[in-house]
């Protein structure tokens, strides 16, 4: 079968190529090193999860559950799977299933993984995107709410970023929220006809999200709405004060924001979001989710965490012109002069690669000029050239492409010589 046009990738996804791919891989390595230094363990969960992992925990009235999950249909069998829309519920599922409550608590886990949402494709929004997430499972201690923020903060500081702020709020416990929501609804009831249609829906289905409205005309109602901080019980009040105290000790900039509610129902007590001055959308956020394990059929497991959108983080790093240390790339090219000298070049290529020296080649070309042309395009510093004479003498020509000079080096000390020249 022949297609008239090339088959395209699904909407809202992207291919990661060349320089962008290099940037991504460098960033990913930094994220992994950084998370390991703060003693988090890497975890990977499947892209597919039982839909109940999310339907029982995120909240029925959230956009994700209402319209954004990708369902996987099996030809047979009644199981309903979804592509995971977020990381935390999936990790708690793994924690419970793998009996991690018998490990020393808390268990600190991190991931850098793909998430899927059927959002309307638009600039900067992807249906498949990467998230870097941290979870600290099995402790109610406020020091861990602060630690999640600390790890992100120190990551930004590594790149000398300064134009950001952590916005923080407390959603209290279930009891606090119940009395708060009662008063919030009472307050909005008076203005029900004046607020935007979305807010009218929120009022009915998920009143906490009234505080999330971004419409300017609703701003005045939001401003005078009751403040959740005034509804916190003693325990919840102490908890948030301790979190802020730890952030002060760590000298981390934050701002209390009583309108911050986060998207999912599983949050309680501390919630936070990270804002950079360059963009009005949060690049990440998180909070405490003490009841999530119970929603998934486990026992009470107080926990806290957070995640950052990698695509948004890359945007910020690019705005700040952040470059990663040049790796030892694009430095050596091996060229052969004829089909007969190719075997010899192949052996040298193998020898160098086994000694961890990155070598470029184009064995498919048999003229020296076309190989050197490619070497020039790649911007390599050195070219190794193998001709008939070199094979006979057990040597190779080492051409310095910058200085335009060349030397004959013996095949016996080729590794040493190249390492010396590359200052490895």
Query: Which positions lie near Zn ion, rule CB under 5 A?
Result: 172-173, 176, 196, 199, 213, 215, 218, 233, 236
180 vs 349 by CB, closer to Zn ion: 180
Looking at the Cβ atoms of 233 and 408, the one nearer to Zn ion is 233
Are 153 and 166 within 8 A, CB to CB? yes
Smaller CB separation from Zn ion, 73 or 234: 234
Minimum CB–partner distance for residue 110 and Zn ion (Å): 29
Minimum CB distance to Zn ion smaller for 109 or for 232: 232
Q: How far is the CB of 268 from Zn ion (least distance, A)?
A: 8
Q: Are strands 332-336 and 405-410 parallel, antiparallel or unpaired?
A: unpaired
C-beta closer to Zn ion: residue 89 or 236: 236
* Smaller CB separation from Zn ion, 234 or 423: 234
CB of 152 to Zn ion, least distance (A): 26
Nearer to Zn ion, 219 or 416 (CB): 219
Cα separation, 299 vs 109, in Å, equals: 19
**How far apart are CB 184 and Zn ion at their closest, in Å?**
13
C-alpha span between 264 and 259 (Å, rounded): 15
- The smaller minimum CB distance to Zn ion, of residues 207 and 286, is found at 207
Q: Quote the least distance from Cβ 318 to Zn ion, whole Å.
A: 33
The answer to whether residues 136 and 147 touch, using CB atoms and an 8 Å cutoff, is yes
> Closest CB to Zn ion among 93 and 239?
239
| Smallest separation, CB 290 to Zn ion (Å) | 11
CB 296 within 8 A of CB 266: no
Which three-class secondary structure string do you get for the chain? CCCCCCCCCCCCCCCCCHHHHHHHHHHHHHHHHHHHHCCCEECCCCCEEECHHHHCCCCCCCHHHHHHCCEECCCCCCCCEEECCCCHHHHHHHHHHCCHHHCCCCEEEEEEEEEECCCCCECCECCEEEEEEEEEECCCCHHHHHHHHHHHHHHHHHCCCCCEEEEEEECCCHHHHHHHHHHHHHHHHCCCCCCCHHHHHHHHHCHHHHHHCCCHHHHHHHHCCCCHHHHCCHHHHHHHHHHHHHHHHCCCCEEECCCCCCCCCCCEEEEEEEEECCCCCCCEEEEECCCHHHHCCCCCCCEEEEEEEHHHHHHHHHHCCCCCCCCCCCCEEEEECCHHHHHHHHHHHHHHHHCCCCEEECCCCCCHHHHHHHHHHHCCCEEEEECHHHHHHCEEEEEECCCCEEEEEEHHHHHHHHHHHHCC
Q: How many CB atoms lie within 10 A of CB 163?
A: 12
Q: C-beta of 220: minimal distance to Zn ion in Å?
A: 11
| Nearest distance, CB of residue 254 and Zn ion, angstroms | 21
User: How far apart are CB 265 and Zn ion at their closest, in Å?
Assistant: 16
Shortest distance, position 27 Cβ to Zn ion, whole Å: 36
Nearer to Zn ion by C-beta: 22 or 198? 198
Closest approach, Cβ 118 to Zn ion, in A, equals: 23
Q: Which two tokens stand for residue 194?
A: 């004046």
Question: From CA 93, how far away is CA 88, in angstroms rounded?
Answer: 9
Of 202 and 399, nearer to Zn ion (C-beta) is: 202
């Amino acid at each position: 079968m022949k297609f008239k046009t090339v088959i395209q990738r699904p909407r809202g996804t992207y291919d990661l190529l060349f320089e962008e791919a290099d940037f991504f891989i460098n960033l990913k390595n930094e994220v992994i090193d950084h998370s390991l230094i703060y003693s988090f363990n890497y975890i990977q969960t499947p892209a597919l999860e039982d839909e109940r992992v999310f339907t029982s925990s995120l909240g029925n009235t959230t956009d994700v559950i209402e319209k954004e999950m990708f369902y996987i249909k099996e030809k047979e069998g009644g199981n309903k799977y979804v592509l995971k829309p977020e990381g935390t519920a999936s990790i708690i599922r793994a924690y419970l299933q793998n009996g991690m409550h018998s490990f020393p608590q808390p268990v600190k886990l991190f991931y850098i993984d793909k998430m899927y949402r059927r959002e309307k494709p638009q600039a900067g929004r992807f249906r498949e995107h990467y998230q870097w997430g941290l979870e600290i499972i099995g402790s109610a201690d406020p020091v861990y709410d602060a630690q999640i923020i600390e790890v992100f903060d120190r990551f930004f500081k590594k790149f000398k970023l300064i134009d950001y702020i952590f916005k923080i709020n407390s959603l209290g416990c279930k009891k606090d929220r119940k009395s708060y929501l009662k008063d919030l609804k009472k307050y909005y009831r008076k203005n029900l006809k004046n607020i935007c249609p979305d807010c009218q829906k929120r009022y009915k289905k998920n009143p906490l999200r009234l505080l999330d409205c971004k419409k300017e005309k609703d701003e005045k109602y939001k401003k005078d709405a009751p403040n959740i901080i005034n509804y916190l019980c003693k325990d919840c009040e102490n908890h948030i004060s301790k979190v802020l105290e730890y952030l002060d000790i760590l000298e981390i900039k934050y701002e209390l924001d009583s309108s911050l509610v986060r998207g999912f129902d599983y949050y309680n007590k501390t919630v936070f979001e990270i804002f950079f001055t360059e963009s009005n959308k949060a690049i990440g956020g998180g909070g405490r989710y003490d009841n999530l394990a119970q929603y998934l059929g486990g026992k009470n497991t107080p926990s806290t965490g957070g995640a950052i959108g990698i695509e948004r983080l890359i945007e910020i790093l690019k705005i700040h012109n952040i470059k990663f240390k040049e790796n030892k790339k694009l430095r050596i090219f091996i060229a052969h002069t004829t089909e007969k000298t190719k075997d010899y070049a192949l052996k040298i290529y193998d020898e160098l690669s086994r000694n961890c020296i990155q070598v470029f080649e184009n064995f498919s070309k048999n003229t020296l000029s076309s190989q050197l042309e490619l070497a020039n395009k790649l911007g390599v510093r050195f070219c190794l050239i193998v001709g008939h004479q070199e094979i006979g003498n057990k040597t190779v020509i080492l051409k310095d492409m910058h200085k335009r000079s060349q030397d004959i080096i013996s095949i016996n000390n080729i590794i040493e010589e190249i390492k010396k020249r590359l200052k490895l």
